[in-house]
Chains A and B, each alone.
Chain A
Amino acid sequence: MKQWLERHIQTLVGSLGRLWKQPFATLLTVLVIGIALALPACLHVLVQNVRAASGDWGNALDISVYMKPAATLEQARQAEKRIAQRRDVDGVTLVKADDALAEFRKNSGFGEALEALKENPLPHALVVRPAEEFRDPAQVETLTAELRKVEGVDLVQLDTAWVSRFNAILDVVRRVVLLAAGLFALGILVIVGNTIRLDIENRRGEIEVTKLVGGSDAFVRRPFLYNGVWYGLSGGITAGIIVAIVVAVLSDPVQRIAGLYGSQFQLQGVGLVGWLALLLGGALLGWLGSFIVATRELREIEPK
């Protein structure tokens, strides 16, 4: 076991040294892999940020139930109790007319105009949140219809259409990211494979000699697999750096825009998980690309 490890570490370091000896060629390969990984990673970061910026979608599903203007607080409480008992309802919040007015006064900027009103024009209202498992459009529709029949209810408002649209678009974008990632992964396999193929061609003589003195296919393949891993790993690091640069460059303007909309939103980078995914993904793709090519090519090379 110790010898095995010793051998592997030796090959690992040896292959790194070999790559180091031709820095330009290695750099080119690593850059190409890095860019290929960075593109889907950037898209992914974009989607994550849009989702974070659009906030908690749970709220958007809430149904607003307005009581008739004449309805008393007592009636509103009754309605609240009745609705809360429903199986398809997760929670009901009573918004008293006075509270609603106070909040409106505070947030709308119409404070002084409102002072002129003799009485509160706002009705009591209930905010109904459908239960988790009753959130598909048909069920929400049924719930809305039933809420309308509750005594004292004037108006039931539900506006989820845009949320559905937005989610649908986001879903498409997410799939595009996945497809792009798949295509770029394929591209990386080809890049690594081709580089390894050239490597093998350049070291043909050495491979023949090694096989002549009893080196197995697996033995001659090992350094090339490590080359692939190094390429992929360095490509992953490069991609992480590219994404970090992109995020850093965009961070300020995005924050300014968010500020104009009164939001505290801040652009998020790939994060720890993202970095790990880039490194592991890169290394894995590098290994796989070299494995496929080296296994095939090295079989062909036989001493004459």
Chain B
Amino acid sequence: MIRFDHVWKRYPNGREAVCDLTLEIGKGEMAFLTGHSGAGKSTLLKLIALIERPSRGTVVVNGQNTATVPRSKIPAFRRQIGIVFQDHKLLMDRPVYDNVGLPLVIAGVPEKEIGKRVRASLDQVGLLGREQNRPIELSTGEQQRVGIARAIIGKPALLIADEPTGNLDPDLAIEIMNIFRRFNEVGVTVVIASHDVHLIDRYRVRRVILEGGRVASGADAMPDLPKLVADRP
């Protein structure tokens, strides 16, 4: 699903966020990206979502070499990926319904179907019935779930999340992680960047540890392990 081949990323200010990184994440896999801040977790996700382009090396997402995606095709490329952000990135002045339905509006899906899928999506994150609330009226955890509902409404094969639990207390964090797990169970590839070691320890999932822009451990998949063996809280 995702393949990094000797990828380098140097920012204009000279900082090298990713150096010679090679990594493969298979279809249907779930992986945590961990490491100290500045280790390259966010950059890696940005390279996947084409928010950044690599300075050297190739990134292949869903069978598509990102170098061959022209600027004009980036929107279409992003629509096949669900992205969850630490700060949710919701439209605060629009109701939950508009926020979750936005990717479908962009894709030109008919209004009637949008309504159905928004409700289905909210149902999956346990927020059915909150369509008309504004994000501001929801708790942080609920806002994050709205963000997840928006990320999955397009039924992406790949879901990436950058510190999705960064602002949450432990109970809420587990709740959010469990939602991601459920999507992985139905075949969605999930990549989560997180530095919350205690939280990650609860899940027996592949762990890619980054250090100084390189993979320190976990470069290989662990097919021998059962995909998900987590202690329920």
Q: Is the CB of B78 within 8 A of A213?
A: yes
Known: A212-B78, A213-B78, A213-B150. A304 touches B51 (CB 8 A): yes
Cross-chain contact of A206 among B76, B91, B108, B151 (Cβ < 8 A): B91
Q: Is the CB of B108 within 8 A of A210?
A: no
Q: Is B89 in contact with chain A by the CB < 8 A criterion?
A: yes
**Complex Cα gap A216–B89 (Å):** 17
**Complex Cα gap A69–B77 (Å):** 97
Cross-chain contact of B76 among A205, A208, A214, A304 (Cβ < 8 A): A214
Question: Which one of B79, B85, B102, B154 has the highest number of Cβ atoms from chain A below 10 Å of its Cβ?
Answer: B102
**Complex Cα gap A302–B74 (Å):** 11
Q: Which of B36-52 contact A (CB under 8 A)?
A: 49, 51
Known: A219-B75, A303-B51, A304-B51. A212 touches B89 (CB 8 A): yes
**Complex Cα gap A265–B89 (Å):** 66
Q: Is the CB of A4 within 8 A of B108?
A: yes
Q: Count of chain B residues with Cβ under 8 Å from any Cβ of A?
A: 24
B78: A residues at CB distance < 8 A: 212-214
Please count the residue pairs between chain A and chain B whose beta carbons lie under 8 angstroms apart in the complex.
54
**Complex Cα gap A4–B107 (Å):** 11
**Complex Cα gap A4–B110 (Å):** 9
Cβ-closest chain A residue relative to B75: A216
Q: Is B118 in contact with chain A by the CB < 8 A criterion?
A: no
The interface residues of chain B, by DSSP majority, are classed as: helix
Closest-CB distance, A2 to chain B (whole angstroms): 8
**Complex Cα gap A3–B109 (Å):** 8
Chain B proximity mask over A82-126: 1 for CB below 8 Å, otherwise 0: 000000000000000000000000000000000000000000000
B90: A residues at CB distance < 8 A: 209
Q: Is A7 in contact with chain B by the CB < 8 A criterion?
A: yes
Q: Is the CB of A213 within 8 A of B102?
A: yes
User: Would you give 30 A-B contacts (Cβ < 8 Å), ordered by A?
Assistant: A3-B108, A7-B105, A205-B91, A209-B90, A209-B102, A210-B102, A210-B106, A211-B75, A212-B49, A212-B51, A212-B78, A212-B89, A213-B83, A213-B102, A213-B103, A213-B150, A213-B151, A214-B75, A214-B79, A214-B106, A214-B154, A215-B75, A215-B102, A216-B72, A216-B75, A216-B106, A217-B72, A219-B106, A303-B51, A304-B51
Binding site for B on A (CB under 8 A): 3-4, 6-7, 205-206, 208-217, 219, 302-304
